[in-house]
Amino acid sequence: MKATIYFRGSLSSCNYDCPYCPFSKNTDSQETLAKDRLQVQAFVDWVRNQEDRGHQLSVFFNPYGEGLTHRWYREALAQLSHMHHVDKVAIQTNLSAKLDWTCELNPVTAAFWVTYHPGQTEEERFVRQCGKLYEQKIPFSVGCVGVKSAFNSISSLRKALPEDVYMWVNAYKDKQDYYSAEDTAFLSRMDPFFALNAKDYDSMGKPCRAGYNVFYVQGDGRVKRCYKDRQVIGNLYKHGLEGISKESPCRMKQCDCYIGYIHMEGQPFDPIYGDRALERIAILS
C-alpha cells in the first residue's frame, strides 16, 4: 500500500507563546516527554518493519508543540529519511532549534513545513535558519498565520526569502468576515493560493482519501481517518494498515484545515502541490 501517515505523540509543549495558539508555552512533565519519546521510537520501529510488507509510506510529524527541540524527533527524521520504502518524511516546525544535525538527513526524502511567528523570533535569525536548509537543498515551505498585526512582517519576510521558496498564509478563521477585499488582495500577493486555502470546504458525505490511504495516528497507535473526526478506526500496531484501510465518505460538515481538505477528492490541490502537498510546497511557475 502507498499511504500517508500523520503522527502526533503526547508532546504538547512549545518554546513560543503565540496568542493564537492554544498550546503556546505549555510545559510538559518529564514523564510526558519520556512517554512521547517512547511513542516516537515505537512508531519509527513500526515504519522500519513495513518494508517487508511492501508498503511505501510518507510520514508527517505534526505535534502539539515544537518537536525539533527534542533529540528523538531529530533522530526519527534522520532515520526515516534513509529508509528505502519511505517516500517522504516531514515535520511542522518553527525552526528555532539548532540545525547542525540536518547533515544527517537524506535531502531527497526529508522536508520541512516551517512556520514563522513574528514577535517570537527575529526575522533575520529566522531567515538565516531557512538559508541553512536552502543551502543544503532540503525542500521546505514557509508560512505564517494571517493575522492583521503580522501583515508588515509577512511582506518583509516574503522579500527576504529566495523567490523560489513558496510562502503560504494561513487564514485567521476565529473571526467571521475578518478580511476586507484589500486584505485578501494583499495576502494573495504574498501567497497566490491564499484564497483557496482561506475557504472552508463542504465535506459531508463526500469522498476523501482519509481512512483509505491517509491516516492520522496518535502516540499509542490509535488511528483516526481524519484529524477532526474523533472516531477511532483501529490501532496501527494491532491491525496494521491492511486492517484499517477502508473507503468511506466524510462524516464532518465542513473541512477547514489544509491537512484535511488536500485529501478530499475533486478539489483543485493536486495540480497545485503535486507530490509536495505533505510539506505544502506549491509548484511555482
Cβ 231 vs Cβ 251: under 8 Å: yes
Q: Which of 7, 131, 70, 87 is nearest to 275 (CA)?
A: 87
pTM of the model: 0.95
User: Residue 21 pLDDT > 90, yes or no?
Assistant: no
β-pairing, 110-115 with 232-235? unpaired
Q: Which of 120, 127, 121 is nearest to 142 (CA)?
A: 127
Distances (CA, A) of 272 to 35, 128, 154, 193, 223: 38, 27, 22, 9, 28
> What value does the mean pLDDT take over residues 227-241?
94
pLDDT in tens, 101-155: 999 999 999 999 999 999 889 999 999 999 999 999 999 999 999 999 999 999 9
User: Residue 80 pLDDT > 70, yes or no?
Assistant: yes
Written as one letter, the residue type at 135 is E
Cβ neighbors of 158 (< 8 A, separation 6 or more) are 167, 190
* Integer Cα distance of 62 and 77 in angstroms: 12
Q: What pLDDT band is residue 25 in, cutting at 50, 70 and 90?
A: low
Instruction: Identify any residues that bridge with 208 across adjacent strands, giving them in sequence order.
Output: 264
User: Residue 227 pLDDT > 90, yes or no?
Assistant: no
More confident residue, 24 or 136: 136
